[in-house]
Structure 1
Amino acid sequence: MTEAATRSAARRETGAIDRGDRARSGVDRWFALYPALALAALLPVGAVTPLFPVEVGVATFALGTLVVGMAHGAVDHLVPLRAATDVSLRRSIAVVSVAYAVLGGAVVAAFFLAPVAAFVGFIALTWLHWGQGDVAALVVAGVDHLPTSAERWLSLVVRGGLPMGVPLLAHPDEYRLVAEWIVGLFVVDSAAAVDPVFVPETRLAVGAFMVAATALSVGLGYWRVRSGASQRGWLRDVGEVAALWAWFLLAAPVFAVGVYFALWHALRHVGRLVLVDERAATAIRDGDVPGALRQFARDAAPLTLGGFLIVGAVGLSVPAGVAAPGDLLGVSLVAIAAMTLPHVVVVAWLDRKQGVWRPGAAG
C-alpha cells in the first residue's frame, strides 16, 4: 500500500470513529440524559402520588406501556441481523421467534402451575434486566469508573434493585396489592398465597441489601476516581442512582414503575437499538432525532401490535377473568413477564457481542 493510500485509509477510519462517537453522544443525550433529568423534575409529582387512588398508577402504567414500553422489545427479531455480520434476516427472525415461543410459553405455564414462584421469578428477572439495561447505557455514555466485570455486575444489582426492591421498602402495601392481583388471576385466596413473600423480615433484608450495595458501588466508583477515572462519569452515575432512590421512595409503586418503564428503561434500550441500525444511527448523528424515532417505530410497529395481542390472549386464558383495573394490570404483567424472558436472552446476546461485561469494554 502506498503512503497516500495509507493516509486515506487512516482518514476514513478516523472519520468512521468520529461518526460513531457523535451517534453515541446523541443517543446518550436524547435517550438517557434528558429522560433522567425529566424523571428528576417529576419528583414533586411522584411525592404526592401515594395520596391518589391506585387506579391512577394503573392508568399511568397502561399509557407508558402503550406509548413506548411495549415497543422497546419489538425489534428483537432484527437485533442479531444488525449486531452481527454473519446472520441473515431469515435466521435472525427464526431464532428469535423460536426463543419467544418456547421461553414465553414456559413463563405463562409457570404462572398457571406455581403463580407465587412465577411472580417472584418475574421480579428477579426484571431486577436483572433493568440493571442490565442501565449498565449498557453507562457503557454507551463512556463512563470509565466501572472497568471490571465485577463492578459492572454490582452496578447492575443496584440499578435493577432500585425499581424492584425500593418500593417494597417504602410502599409494601401497594406492592403486595399488585402481587395479589397477579396471583389472584390463578388462585382463589391470593392474600394467603403471597403471605410468605411479604413477611417483615423480607422487607428489611431487601432494604438493608440495597443500602449496602449502593454504598459499596458508590464507594468503589469514588476510589476509581481517586485513581484517575473521570469524575464527571462517576457524578453522572451517582446522580442517577440518587434520583432513582428518591423516585422509588417517594412515588406510589405502580405509578413509579409505569413512568420509569417508559421514560427510563425503554427509552435507553431504544437508543441502544438505534446505534445498531445504520439508518437510524445516521439520523441521530446528523441531529435528526425524529427521523431516528420514525425508523424505529416502523420496525417496531408489527410486533408491538403482537405484544398487545399476547396481553389479550393471556386475559382470555386466566381462570379468574378480567373484571377490574387491577385484573388488567395483572394480565399485562403476566404477558410482559412472558416477553421479558426471551427479551433478556436477546439483550444478553447483544451484551456479549458488544463486550458490555468485558473489563475495560467501551461499547
Structure 2
Amino acid sequence: MKAFFQWRPLVPPAGHQSGVAVASAVGLATAAIAALFLVLGLDGGIWLYLPLILSVFLFGLPHGAIDHLVLIGLARRRLNLTSLAIACGLYLTLVFVFLILWWVSPLIGLILFLGITVYHWGKSDLAFESLNSPNLSAAPTLPRTSHLLLRGFLPIGTPFLAFPEATQSFITACTSSFGYDVKVSTGFNTVLWFVLLILLTSEISYLKRQRNWKRLLAEDCALLGYFILIPPVLAIGLYFCLWHGLRHVLRLIQYESDAVDAVKLSDGLKRFYIQALPFTLVSLLLVAAVVLLLPQAKQLDQLVGIYLVVISSLTLPHLCVVEWMDWRERI
C-alpha cells in the first residue's frame, strides 16, 4: 500500500521551476469556460454548481489532501504509524474544532471562514508569485500585505458588490442548515466599496516595484472583471479549482520525494493524485457525515453549503501547513 499510494514525506526543493505559463494558460481557459457558460445560458440552476461539484476531484478538495505528507516532511520525520497518527490527529483536531464552531455559532464560523479565505487565497497568490519571481521580495511589507489582501478580496469581497442577492443566497446556503440566517446589510457593502478602493490604490505602489508588473496588473484586472461579470457560485467554483487549487498543486508537485530532478508536469500530476486519493476520500466521508447530522439539508444549495462548511473546516489546518511551507521557503 505504501508503494501504491506513494506515501512519502514531502519537503521543499532547493529551487522551483516556473509554473507561470501553465497557471496563465489555465487562467485564460477559466475565463473562456465562464464566458461559455454565460453564452450557452448555463448560468442558472444546477449548472451554477457544476464547478463546485467537480472541485471534489479537480484540484479543489484534493489540493490539501497531501498536507499530512508535507507536515511530516517539514517536521523532518520519517513516515511511520506514529508520525502519521500525530500528523492526522493534529489536523483532524483543528477540523473538528472548526466544525463544532459552526454548530455553536454559525455567524462566527462564517466570519472566520471568509476572513481565513481572504488571507489564505491572497497569501497563496503571493507565494506563487514569490517562488517564480524573486524580485518580489524587494517590495516593502505594507505593499506586499496590501497586494495579498487585494488578491484575497477579489474572489470573496467583489461578489458582495456585484451580485448582492446571489451572494446573500450563497451565504444563507452555508448557515441555514445550522438554523441561522445571515442578512448582509447595505452598510456592510458600503464598507467593502471603501476597502476595495483602498486596496486598488495601494496596488499601484506594489506594482511600481515589480519587473513583471504588466502581468500582475493584467491578472488584477482580469480577476476584478471576472468576479464582476460572472455569478458568484460559478465564479468561485471555477476559481477554486483552476486558479487557487491548481497553483497550489503546481507548487506541491515540485516537492521532493525520491526524485531530485525536475518533475515533469504529467508525472507530477499523476503522483499528486495518487498521494491525494486516500484523504480526498476521507474528506468526502466527512461531508457525508455532516449531511447525515443535518437531515434538514435537502436542497442542492444547502448540500453545497455543507460542502463549503466542511471545506472551511479543512482550510484552518491547511492554512497552518501552508504557512509552515511559506516560512521554510522564506516567503
Is the pair's TM-score, using the shorter chain for normalization, greater than 0.5? yes
Larger radius of gyration: 1
Kindly indicate whether the alpha-carbon contact (under 8 Å) linking 1:274 and 1:280 is maintained by their aligned counterparts in 2. Answer: no
Alpha-carbon shift at residue 331 of structure 1 (Å): 1.0
Q: Could you say which residue in structure 2 is the equivalent of 1:149?
A: 141
The runs of at least 4 aligned residues of structure 1 exceeding 4 Å deviation read 46-51, 278-281
Change (3 A) 1:281 1:203: farther
Alpha-carbon shift at residue 141 of structure 1 (Å): 1.8
Q: Could you say which residue in structure 2 is the equivalent of 1:24?
A: 17
Aligned 1:9-158 pairs, distance under 5 A: 23-25=16-18, 27-30=19-22, 32-42=23-33, 44-45=35-36, 52-83=43-74, 86-90=76-80, 93-142=84-133, 144-147=135-138, 148-158=140-150
Kindly indicate whether the alpha-carbon contact (under 8 Å) linking 1:100 and 1:342 is maintained by their aligned counterparts in 2. Answer: yes
Unaligned regions of 5+ residues in structure 2, if any?
1-12
Aligned 1:230-249 pairs, distance under 5 A: 230=211, 233-249=212-228
Alpha-carbon shift at residue 143 of structure 1 (Å): 5.1
Q: Quote the Cα distance in structure 2 between the aligned partners of 1:104 and 1:235.
A: 39
Kindly indicate whether the alpha-carbon contact (under 8 Å) linking 2:143 and 2:202 is maintained by their aligned counterparts in 1. Answer: no
TM-score when scaled to structure 2?
A: 0.88
Change (3 A) 1:43 1:58: closer
Q: Could you say which residue in structure 2 is the equivalent of 1:174?
A: 166
Kindly indicate whether the alpha-carbon contact (under 8 Å) linking 2:118 and 2:152 is maintained by their aligned counterparts in 1. Answer: yes
Q: Could you say which residue in structure 1 is the equivalent of 2:230?
A: 251
Q: Could you say which residue in structure 1 is the equivalent of 2:249?
A: 270
1:194 aligns with 2:182: yes
Q: Quote the Cα distance in structure 2 between the aligned partners of 1:241 and 1:177.
A: 26
Kindly indicate whether the alpha-carbon contact (under 8 Å) linking 2:118 and 2:149 is maintained by their aligned counterparts in 1. Answer: yes
The alignment of Structure 1 onto Structure 2 pairs a total of residues equal to 317
Identity in percent: 29
Change (3 A) 1:248 1:146: farther
Change (3 A) 1:339 1:281: farther
Q: Which SS does the other structure have where 1:89 is aligned? A: coil
Aligned 1:243-322 pairs, distance under 5 A: 243-278=222-257, 282=261, 284=263, 288-318=264-294, 320-322=295-297
Kindly indicate whether the alpha-carbon contact (under 8 Å) linking 1:48 and 1:251 is maintained by their aligned counterparts in 2. Answer: no
Q: Quote the Cα distance in structure 2 between the aligned partners of 1:281 and 1:167.
A: 43
Q: Could you say which residue in structure 1 is the equivalent of 2:9?
A: none
Kindly indicate whether the alpha-carbon contact (under 8 Å) linking 1:280 and 1:296 is maintained by their aligned counterparts in 2. Answer: no
Unaligned regions of 5+ residues in structure 1, if any?
1-18, 357-363
Alpha-carbon shift at residue 349 of structure 1 (Å): 0.9
Higher helix share: 1
Q: Quote the Cα distance in structure 2 between the aligned partners of 1:275 and 1:182.
A: 35
Q: Could you say which residue in structure 1 is the equivalent of 2:8?
A: none
One-letter code of the match for 2:222?
A
TM-score when scaled to structure 1?
A: 0.81
Q: Could you say which residue in structure 2 is the equivalent of 1:333?
A: 308
Q: Quote the Cα distance in structure 1 between the aligned partners of 2:21 and 2:61.
A: 22
Q: Could you say which residue in structure 2 is the equivalent of 1:206?
A: 192
Q: Quote the Cα distance in structure 1 between the aligned partners of 2:63 and 2:259.
A: 15
One-letter code of the match for 2:235?
A
